[in-house]
Homo-oligomer: A and B are copies of this chain.
Amino acid sequence: MEYKQVILVRMDLDLSIGKLAAQVSHASLDAALAAKKDTMIEWRKNGAKKVVLQVADLDELNEYKKKADAAKIANAIITDAGHTEIPAGTTTCLAIGPDKEAEINKITGSLRML
């Protein structure tokens, strides 16, 4: 069984690469810690596959959050404290999984990689 995690990033924010990578890491860690422990262990044993995907804006991000919740897949949405590049309270990205790759693909299979 293949496991993966995807992290969806808003493309309408003008984040620096470093800031974007930090936000993706926040989402990844929070969702990983929200996953079932067995799933997390299995995922990490096989390389902890992570794929970063593009969404256009906040509306699209929220749509995928609803789909992940409906499918009962662990997920984490990140709202930045806004100390640096963007206003406080800006939602930047959403991690979905780790979970079975086939289940994740049902939700985000049509999104483009970043």
Residues of A within 8 A of B (CB): 7, 9, 16-22, 24-26, 28-29, 32, 47-48, 50-53, 81, 113-114
* Copy count, this protein chain: 2
Task: Judge whether B48 and A18 touch: CB under 8 Å.
Answer: no
Sample of 4 more A-B contacts, CB < 8 Å, known A7-B25, A24-B24: A18-B52, A20-B21, A21-B24, A29-B48
CB-nearest residue of chain B relative to A20?
A: B21
Which single member of B20, B25, B47 contacts A17 (CB below 8 Å)?
Answer: B20
Known: A20-B17, A114-B16. A26 touches B7 (CB 8 A): no
Minimum distance in angstroms from A3 CB to a CB of chain B: 14
